[in-house]
Structure 1
Amino acid sequence: MLSRVQTEPTPAGVAWTSSPAGKANASDNAREVQRPVSPDSREDDSGWMEVGKKNKPAITRTTLATESAITRIFGGKLRSVLSIPGSSKDSVTLEPYQPLQLDIQSDHVRTIEDALKHITLAETVSMQSETRGGMVDAKKQVTLESLPPLLILHLKRLVYDAKGIQKNSKVIEYSTALEIRPEIISPTRRTNQSIKYQLYGVVYHHGKHATGGHYTIDVLRQDHSEWVRIDDTHIEPVTEKDVTAHEKHAKLDKTAYLLFYRREPDNPK
């Protein structure tokens, strides 16, 4: 599986969509932050009516996807709200994700928490307005509608430029405890409590280039007794400090690529 990730960062059966930074064209059904679209999914055109902030109505549509044991364990949903000037209704789309991709290109993103917050930054979308008869700047904002029992975070380290595919080796800090703050949760699902996760696995990419390199993994034993490092057929115990030694990893051209978190019990779903 890891060798497949090296040559093709997209998980099998999933297509990723993206749009350039800055203003996005309305025809790009995407954010600057990439989002997965299941090949078996389709948009529910019927939608339903919601009442949002200040009693403003919203038409909500959902991208339908085939549910399975895998999606119930690892899958969640994003809520994308498009507010169009002059429109009496917001347009809301619920989209599945699995895993959750995190854009780390911004200088403001230095931790996993920063990357999660970056998902929710509002962006401007230029689009044609039927009511105003011209182009308008709509506001688009994404929040987390639901979170799975096991959350996989995919750090987007591939950069596409004139030279081809490059690797972003930026250090992104993370710890074994993750708190997802209420402000990045959808208003319809938000509570006063953070949602807490515990790290149980990290996949690393070793090497300076995106087109080559090597993968290793640190994984927490099922009984939580110790961390184990797996490098091909070599297996050795490591400490929690070794798992989160970001600067040490950077000196070895070793970067976290996938983070696996387990949701703590007694948290809102």
Structure 2
Amino acid sequence: GSKASATIQPFLLLHINIFPDPICSLEDGLHLFSAQESLDGYRTSASSKAEIVSASKSVKILEPPEIMILHLMRFSYGRQGCTKLHKAVRFPLELLLGRDLLSSRLSEARRYELVATITHHGRDPSKGHYTADARHPDGGWLRYDDSSVASVPVSKVLHDQAYVLFYKRL
């Protein structure tokens, strides 16, 4: 027969894979993050009596945090060292975490609002510069760039090259 098991693991942030071609938005990345994954050849235990079975796994959020930190995986590590993915990925001002991402015990979707972003500027991961955009309590946005702070329009905040996104639960 089939058996279900659950592992509860606290998290500080979610790493969102943006490398696959179909990923064009944060919502696409979250859908991939929570998609069921096949585990062919899975060993049921480490003992010598372990069975090899077909299994699947999926990731669900049990307790949506007050602040949701989403790391868009723009850096890849391989034989050629570290490379940066300069791919456009759209993200919204208001994020709805759908029931497909939430534990079944949560009956409704959770809404979040964007409160900050971090962006890496530069072609090479080992060089470049970081800036942060943060929402001011008055609703405006500020860009922090070393010792300078400047007001920026929301259109500049919603650029498609962000690296880390911070959402606050509504």
Q: Is the pair's TM-score, using the shorter chain for normalization, greater than 0.5?
A: yes
Structure 1 regions of 5+ residues with no counterpart?
1-85, 247-254, 265-269
Higher relative CO (Cα under 8 Å, sequence separation at least 6) belongs to 2
CA RMSD of aligned residues (A): 1.7
Superimposed CA distance per residue, residues 185-243 of structure 1 (whole angstroms, 9 cap, x where no aligned partner): 11122x2x32111111110000011111100011111232x111111112111111111
Matched, 1:203 2:109: no
Instruction: Determine the C-alpha separation between the residues in 2 that align with 1:129 and 1:94.
Output: 18
Cα distance in 2, alignment partners of residues 178 and 133 from structure 1: 42
1:257 alignment counterpart: 163
Aligned AA (1:206): H
Runs of 4 or more, structure 1, over 3 Å off, are none
- Inter-CA distance 206–92: structure 2 relative to 1 (3 Å threshold): same
For residues 221 and 200 of structure 1, the distance between their equivalents in structure 2, rounded to whole angstroms, comes to 8
Q: CA deviation at 1:245?
A: 3.1
Code of the aligned partner of 1:127: Y
Matched with 2:70 is: 153
Q: Identify the residue that residue 103 of structure 2 maps to in structure 1.
A: 186
Query: C-alpha displacement at 1:128, in angstroms?
Result: 2.8
CA distance in 1, matches of 2:151, 2:44: 60
The residue identity in structure 2 corresponding to 1:197 is: Y
Counting aligned pairs with the same residue, the percent is 31
Shift of 1:135: 2.3
Would the aligned equivalents of 1:119 and 1:143 in 2 still touch at CA under 8 Å? no
Distance 1:129 1:231, change over 3 A: closer
Give the Cα separation in 2 of the matches to 1:176 and 1:127: 40
Distance in structure 1 (CA, Å) of the matches to 2:14 and 2:125: 20
Q: In structure 1, what is the equivalent of residue 152 of structure 2?
A: 238
The yes-or-no answer on 1:217 pairing with 2:128 is no
For residues 74 and 156 of structure 2, what CA distance do their matches in structure 1 show?
21
Alignment CA distance shift 1:129-1:241 (3 Å): closer
Q: Quote the Cα distance in structure 2 between the aligned partners of 1:96 and 1:220.
A: 27
Q: Secondary structure at the match of 1:209?
A: coil
Q: Is there any run of 5+ residues in structure 2 with no aligned partner, and where? A: none
How far apart are 1:127 and its partner, in Å?
1.8
Deviation, structure 1 residue 111: 0.7
CA positional deviation for 1:184: 1.6
- TM-score in terms of structure 1 length: 0.58
SS of the aligned residue for 1:116 comes to helix
